[in-house]
Structure 1
Amino acid sequence: MEKSIMVDAWVLSSPDAGRKPKFARQAYSFTPLAPDEVLAEPLFGSWEGNMGHALTGSPMDLCARRGEDVIVLGNSGVVRVLKSGTAVGDLREGDLCRVYCAGELDPAGYPITIMGYDCPGTMGVLARQAKFKRRQLALLPSGGDISLASWAAFSLRYVSAYSNWLLAARAWRIQMGHAYPAGCDVFAWGGGVALAELELAAAEGCRATLITSKDKYRRHALARGIGVIMRGGAADPGAADTLGQIMDRTEGRGAAIFIDNIGADFRVTVRALARQGVIATCGWRDGMTFPLVRASECINRHVHVFTHYAHAREAEDAVALARSIAWYPTITSPVWAWEEIGDLADAYARGEIEDYFPVFAVNDA
């Protein structure tokens, strides 16, 4: 009988009563490979919003939800294969793969839970070695200019963006196809997934605009041909000014598609939406629930699009598009070292991360 595998990991532990979960580096053990599993060493990962949620215990205590005392987080990354289970015949030692982080799937193949987050019995990339189901790893294409660090950030945010944009754009074209793309004004509150969706909108010929309070985000967007509306920080209401600028840019029509993965200004999002407009969401940062006046939404023929990560087919299509039009994240800040991941978590919690894509290293590439 094979022994359990013991590794160095950053681990989320059950919280004490009334406290946040614990996050610390420690030894972590997991069971030997099942026939359909792959042992790999993560090379790079990207710190994601769901990891921040996990460390605060909001909206849920993940350990309690999964029925586990300790969890290894991290669902965006690139790994190198070490060993494959007996039923895995197409991956070899040394193969480089991106993580496809779907946990439980529905009958159509769309993810219900996420590996390394709320899917019980799974582990993420915050370990020197980790095991994955075969379907959770996809071979990286050979050649090209995309770095492993960029693929790590791509694997969750850009894949999520592709699925969300695909559905949002199709939803708008059902009613307004005669005006696509020249009449399609797309706005988004600043964030990495939103930036990726705006890049897709601009590539298709839509007018794309990022709304942000951060100068670094402004420069990032302008360098990609995306317009910018600057607004005050979270403490500055600025709603009337932001809404006014959106209306000015659209000659009073409003946003055709509004990407809102933040949640803090949802009322502005709704008020800024044009008739036949689409609100697109694939996550949240500051709010999960919002009231809506259903009569107004019906009269204005608004469409609300909600997506959760992506189908494996969409992930493959996103990778193909990345290579064909150079659509991928640019890593502009130094990669965080393995020993610094605790500092990264603290900096993220304090709102001090200025980079869209905070990438960390796990093993030497």
Structure 2
Amino acid sequence: MVMPFSKRDRYGYAEIVYAYEAPQTIGLLAKRTKIDSDLLLPIPENSKYSLPQWAAYARYFTAWDNWRIAHRCWSTQMEDQDPGDHLVFGWGGGVVLAELQLAKRAGFRVAMTAGSDARLAELGRLGITGVDRRLFPHLTNDPDNPPSDPASVASYRTSEKEFLRTINALSGGAGVAIFVDNMGAPLYKATVKAMARQGVITTVGWKQGMRTYNLRASECINRHLHVNTHVWRYDDCATIRDQQEQTAWIPSIDPAGIYDFDDVERLAEDYSKGRVESYFPLYRVNKA
């Protein structure tokens, strides 16, 4: 497994990510490449799990690190609380799915959004409450260009009201204790409104927008903590891998959903158009 550490700080955390933002590195859309040996982490010998299952490791490694920090931050203010009385919620995605599995194991109530019947069924199979995002289709809100016409404003308010009603029901009226928000700007207004007091907004991505806005007085009064992480710590690589192997914290992968190397372009198109049901879309370089 390729560890994405092109440059690390003195504590081992990633500063620049291999093949993403690091100069003079290349991605993995090639059948042959060269990679520094210290970036290769072996799969456990005689692993109980398949290569396609391990191929989703990056989402899980990222989730492990983000959840570790977010959970500890929440606990600093709520150390005497029973997690079973509190809700961890996330906008849909593979990293969020992995984090919510950890949150569930820690005893929290867990729920996340999904936009298809297949994904809602998958969440149910994993013991995660699925929230159909089609129930609030107009929830996105561009903070730099908010809607001004009455119809758009009304549509947003209707969706926001339904979303907050759902959160209220799932949390017993308390709001979200830990909100995993890897979407960013267009959904951030709804994220903040859904938060519980002493809640944590945790972020390890910015899929739909990097710039978010806070009313700092409200965040202070509500004692909200904001966690921002990136990748994970190099020295934790083997630890996370071993936890996956030992605790079955690893995805199920349908072999029929794996794309061949020559179909990568089709995979990108299917993903962009929402035709990929898996939270972990994969392609194989070599035939098994």
Same fold (TM over 0.5): yes
Residue 188 of structure 1: CA displacement? Answer: 0.5
What is the one-letter code of the residue matched to 1:288?
M
Match of 1:247 among 152, 168, 173: 168
Is the deviation greater in 267-276 or in 124-133?
A: 124-133
SS in 1 for 2:257: coil
What is the one-letter code of the residue matched to 2:216?
R
What is the one-letter code of the residue matched to 1:232?
R
Match of 1:210 among 98, 107, 112: 112
2:231 is equivalent to residue 329 of structure 1: no
- Indicate if the aligned counterparts of 1:190 and 1:217 stay in contact, CA closer than 8 A: no
Q: How far apart in 1 are the matches of 2:50 and 2:161?
A: 41
Residue 297 of structure 1: CA displacement? Answer: 0.1
Superimposed CA distance per residue, residues 245-289 of structure 1 (whole angstroms, 9 cap, x where no aligned partner)? 111121211010000111231111111110110001100211111
Q: How far apart in 1 are the matches of 2:131 and 2:270?
A: 26
> CA RMSD for the aligned pairs?
1.5
Q: How far apart in 1 are the matches of 2:253 and 2:287?
A: 17
Residue 235 of structure 1: CA displacement? Answer: 4.5
Match of 1:229 in 2: 131
Residue 216 of structure 1: CA displacement? Answer: 1.7
Q: How far apart in 1 are the matches of 2:257 and 2:219?
A: 44
After superposition, residues 1-365 of structure 1 pair within 5 angstroms as 98-154=1-57, 156-232=58-134, 235-237=137-139, 238-263=159-184, 264-332=186-254, 333-365=256-288
What is the one-letter code of the residue matched to 1:210?
M
Superimposed CA distance per residue, residues 105-141 of structure 1 (whole angstroms, 9 cap, x where no aligned partner)? 1121111111111111112221111111122111110
What is the one-letter code of the residue matched to 1:114?
V
Match of 2:143 in 1: none
Residue 142 of structure 1: CA displacement? Answer: 1.1
- Indicate if the aligned counterparts of 2:77 and 2:198 stay in contact, CA closer than 8 A: yes
Superimposed CA distance per residue, residues 86-108 of structure 1 (whole angstroms, 9 cap, x where no aligned partner)? xxxxxxxxxxxx11112111121
- Indicate if the aligned counterparts of 2:61 and 2:232 stay in contact, CA closer than 8 A: yes
Larger helix proportion of the pair: 2
Identical pairs, percent: 37
Q: How far apart in 2 are the matches of 1:243 and 1:165?
A: 24
Is the deviation greater in 348-357 or in 288-297?
A: 348-357
Aligned residue-pair number: 267
SS in 2 for 1:266: helix
- Indicate if the aligned counterparts of 1:101 and 1:115 stay in contact, CA closer than 8 A: yes
- Indicate if the aligned counterparts of 1:246 and 1:254 stay in contact, CA closer than 8 A: yes
Which structure 1 residue ranges, 5 or more long, are not aligned? Answer: 1-97
For normalisation by structure 1, the TM-score amounts to: 0.70
Residue 234 of structure 1: CA displacement? Answer: 8.0
Q: How far apart in 2 are the matches of 1:355 and 1:269?
A: 25
Larger strand proportion of the pair: 1
Q: How far apart in 2 are the matches of 1:226 and 1:235?
A: 21
Q: How far apart in 2 are the matches of 1:220 and 1:319?
A: 23
- Indicate if the aligned counterparts of 2:89 and 2:111 stay in contact, CA closer than 8 A: yes
Residue 303 of structure 1: CA displacement? Answer: 0.4
- Indicate if the aligned counterparts of 2:14 and 2:233 stay in contact, CA closer than 8 A: yes
For normalisation by structure 2, the TM-score amounts to: 0.88
- Indicate if the aligned counterparts of 1:123 and 1:131 stay in contact, CA closer than 8 A: no
What is the one-letter code of the residue matched to 2:212?
F
Match of 1:92 in 2: none
What is the one-letter code of the residue matched to 2:60?
Y
- Indicate if the aligned counterparts of 2:41 and 2:237 stay in contact, CA closer than 8 A: no
- Indicate if the aligned counterparts of 1:184 and 1:206 stay in contact, CA closer than 8 A: yes
Greater relative contact order, per chain length (Cα 8 Å cut-off, separation 6+): 2
